Amino acid sequence: MSNQPPAGKPSTANQILDLLLDALLERQAARRTQSLSPESKPPVSQPPPPRTTQPRRPAPPAAIKEPIRRQPRPKPGPGDEGREPPPLLPSINLDKTLSRLLVLIAVLILLVNVPVTRHGVSLARIMPDSAALIIREGLILKGSGPEIFKLEDDKLRWISSLDAFEHLGLQWGDVHLVEDQFLAKFEKGRPIHVLLKCDDSPHIYRLENQEKRWIKDIDTFMAEGHVWEDVRFVPRDYLREIPDGPPIPEDAGPPPQL
Amino acid sequence: MKDLAVIETILRNRHHFFIEIRDGVGLREKMRAMLVSSIMFLALYGAVLGSTHSLWQALSSAAKLPILFLATLVVCSPTLYFFNVLFGSNQSLTQNFALILTAITVTSVLLLSFTPVMLFFLLTTSGYQFFKLLNVGICAIAGWMGVLFLSQGMRIVSAAGRERAGARRNIVRLWIMLYAFVGSQMAWTLRPFIGAPSMKFELFRQLGGNFYTNILVSLGEMLGFFMVK
């Protein structure tokens, strides 16, 4: 038995190819007609081009006749050819809405910046800010207790009195309220006292409760944990105006007169 | 308040707005309206940022935020213009300027829309690093939307000169990266906008470090890896 078709009779593969070719030619012709006269209807059935070699074949199986799917053309983007501009939308008075929003926000900004506490703290800055801190030299911190600390060399130095606080040029706004656990992260350093001295006298005084306390001698000075760097020089008259308090130690006798 | 009408045109009828820019219709009026609106919106957003620190910081940030965006515009627009011309664009520098201003206007109106959110977090949280990163995130979203508008506008405006349109599109993409880079460095130079809570008010901070390392450090502190000193 031979697989070759009989002479003059085309093979099945050839028949299928011919049918596909016919379908393509029909399609091309239809498109050409459409593009030449867009108004006119596309020809439903056009005679196939004349054949010279092959006679008309019988209808192919249904699976082969499936039409070739067209790729959907991408939607043209803005600025692309063939893009239709969208219709002009009617106004929704956005300008009025915006101006109201602007006024509202401006009023809110003013409100959150108005001081609401006796210390002049506004709503915008009223939250405890331990989480917000950038740790830096000179930071003033306060926990749940009354003590206020100054951070120096990664150590917390207790500011011993209101005089010392004022002498450091601090205000309540400089104090950052933090949790006690946050304070516990740091070592304790020397307390900060206000130590005053004038040029004309060798005596050193510690300012406490708006009184000056005479420090008897250098040994006492050292024993109290003071260092020379903490001593501030002030005019004699200023020092004289501050009332005397008990000396350090208290049995040191009467303080010298300036 | 008449200038605010331009926002509606940009947001709702952007195609027609860009076509008018392409045709040079009322360019000056458009630019003035966009400039006024952007300055107002950015100033309010800046004031909210600075309110976390002090009243002075609020005023300073209200002035500095519009300067940041407008200075970036001035620095970057010649690059876009000349590269576009090199690749066959027939737009004028004014049209380029108007297009970038449109992007800034969109960014600023979106920032304004985020202002109540920022106010909410301002009143309910005290985390400086969180607030800073939230602001960076919001600015990134608003900025991204702005440059999307710019990209769309460029396609419409340059539709007339079809030659080398693809190359110009790539230029816009590259320029957007440059714009983001210049903008972030400009922000770093003009900082502080929020103001670190433990530091006194300062109009400008000393230069040092850069925007990107600072963001990484903030992320590190917020996630608990280390403490910023």
Per-position pLDDT tens, chain B of length 229: 678 888 999 999 989 999 999 888 899 999 999 999 999 999 999 999 998 888 899 999 999 999 999 999 999 999 999 988 888 788 889 999 999 999 999 999 999 999 999 999 888 877 788 888 999 999 999 999 999 999 988 888 876 556 677 788 888 899 999 999 999 989 988 888 988 776 778 888 877 777 888 888 888 877 766 655 5
Q: Which residues of B fall within a CB distance of 8 Å from A125? A: 51-54, 197
CA B19, B24, B30, B34 dihedral sign is: positive
Task: Determine the Cα–Cα distance for residues B54 and B203; give it in Å rounded to an integer.
Answer: 12
Query: Are residues B7 and A94, on separate chains, in Cβ contact within 8 Å?
Result: yes
Looking at beta carbons, which residues of chain A come within 8 Å of B123? 112, 123-124, 127
B160–chain A Cβ distance below 8 A for any pair: no
CA atoms of B95 and B18, how far apart (whole Å): 10
Reported as type and span, the H/E element at residue A189 is none
CB contact under 8 A, A125 and B53: yes
- Which chain A positions have a beta carbon within 8 Å of B156's beta carbon? 78-79
B156/A135 touch (CB, cutoff 8 Å), yes or no: no
Query: Can you give the pLDDT at residue B168?
Result: 81
Contact indicator for B118, A119 with CB cutoff of 8 Å: no
Q: Which two tokens stand for residue B224?
A: 């608990």
Edge-to-edge strand ranges of the sheet holding A204-208:
A211-215, A204-208, A194-197, A231-233
Residue with tokens 């090199």: B86
Q: How confident is the model at residue A58 (pLDDT cuts 50, 70, 90)?
A: low
Distance of CA A61 to the CA centre of its chain: 67
Q: Distance from A135 to chain B by nearest Cα, in Å?
A: 5
Higher pLDDT, A97 or B161: A97
What b-and-e string marks burial along A69-92, b requiring 16 or more CB atoms within 10 Å of the CB? eeeeeeeeebbeeeeeeeeeeeee
Residues forming beta bridges with residue A196, ordered by sequence position: A205, A232
Out of A105, A128, A132, closest to residue B115 by CB: A105
| Residue in A with minimal Cα distance to B132 | A132
Integer Cα distance of B88 and B52 in angstroms: 48
With an 8 Å Cβ cutoff, are B128 and A134 in contact? yes
B5 part of contact set with chain A, CB < 8 Å: yes
Residue of B115, B126, B158 with shortest CB distance to A127: B126
| Mean pLDDT confidence for A180-187 | 83
Q: Supply the pTM of this predicted model.
A: 0.62
Work out the angle between the directed axes of helices B55-86 and B93-124 (0-180°, nearest 10).
150
Say which residue the tokens 């450091």 belong to: A168
Residue A73 has pLDDT above 70, yes or no: no
Beta strand A194-197 with A204-208 is antiparallel
A147 CA to centre of own chain: 34
What pLDDT score does A49 carry? 53
Residues of A in contact with B19 (CB under 8 A): 85
Distance in Å, alpha carbon of B168 to nearest chain A alpha carbon: 13
Q: Taking CA atoms, what residue in B is nearest to A100?
A: B1
Q: How close B139 gets to chain A, by Cα (Å)?
A: 18
Higher pLDDT, A172 or A59: A172
Please indicate if any CB of chain A lies within 8 Å of the CB of B122. Answer: yes
Averaged pLDDT, A7-34: 80
CA nearest to B9 within chain A: A91
A49: left (phi over 0), alpha (psi -120 to 50) or beta: beta
β-bridge partners, A122: A115
Contact A215, A206 (CB under 8 A): yes
Shortest CA gap A216–chain B (Å):
39
User: What is the distance in angstroms between the Cα of A162 and the nearest Cα belonging to chain B?
Assistant: 21
Interchain contact B4–A (C-beta under 8 A): yes
